[in-house]
Amino acid sequence: MSAERLGIFGGTFAPVHKGHTAAAKAFLESGLIDRLHIIPTYLPPHKSLSFADDPADRLAMLKIAFAPLLQAYPQIKIDPYEIEKATVSYTVETIRHYREQYPSITLLCGTDMFLTIHEWYHAKELLTTCEIAYQARTGGEQDAEALARQAERLEREYGTRCHMLQGTVIEVSSTELRARIARGTDLDAYLDPEVTRYIRSNKLYGAV
């Protein structure tokens, strides 16, 4: 069993954007983990996809978007584990899989995920077998208070260690991004240019 501390950053990544890469970099530089796996879902359990989707495309875009970070940080890995399982992706099952190798696992959550994680599939097992890192979007005091209450609740009810990552959050809505892609709007502020090129050339998300 490895003594390294593993970080897991999962999600649909449809498409992967600059907010994702910035969050991954902040996570790896937080000192909480030694290794980071970026794990795209095959099918997310909490929502149905309202757009045509090929997981292979999302995996390819992750490799493109993370290419600079992969060069700078060999501890980062684009991990196809859930896509290769080819079934609904439950985070707790992924945690079980990696617990066999890593005794310490920290899961990275966005604001909305962190606030609802106690409602996830087999939440008790999930929250008692890993730590949680989360980012706070720039939503003012109301968000900050909600996040603080949730961290206190998870620590009290499950013994979960929760860590808020420092740094600026790049807020991007994947739904809005897909709408911008379909409208042909400029995407440079949100997407790596090579990801945009991949989307356009493969006509993803309504691109023309």
Contact (CB, 8 A) for 174 and 14: yes
pLDDT reported for residue 111: 86
**What is the average pLDDT value for the chain, to the nearest integer?**
91
Q: What is the pLDDT of residue 55?
A: 92
- For residue 73, the domain's CATH number is 3.40.50.620
Q: How many domains does the chain have?
A: 1
β-pairing verdict for 76-78 and 35-40: parallel
Q: How many other C-beta atoms lie within 10 A of the C-beta of residue 155?
A: 14
> Residue 11 domain-assigned?
yes
Residue 13 lies in a domain: yes
> DSSP assignment, residue 121?
T
- What would the pLDDT profile of 18-69 be if each residue is shown by its tens digit? 999 999 999 999 999 999 999 999 987 765 555 678 899 999 999 999 999 9
127 lies in some domain: yes
pTM: 0.93
pLDDT digits (tens, 9 = 90+) for 109-122: 988 899 999 999 99
pLDDT surpassing 70 at residue 189: yes
SS3 166: coil
Asked if residue 29 is part of any domain, the answer here is yes
Q: Is 118 exposed, middle or buried (0-12, 13-18, 19+ CB in 10 A)?
A: middle
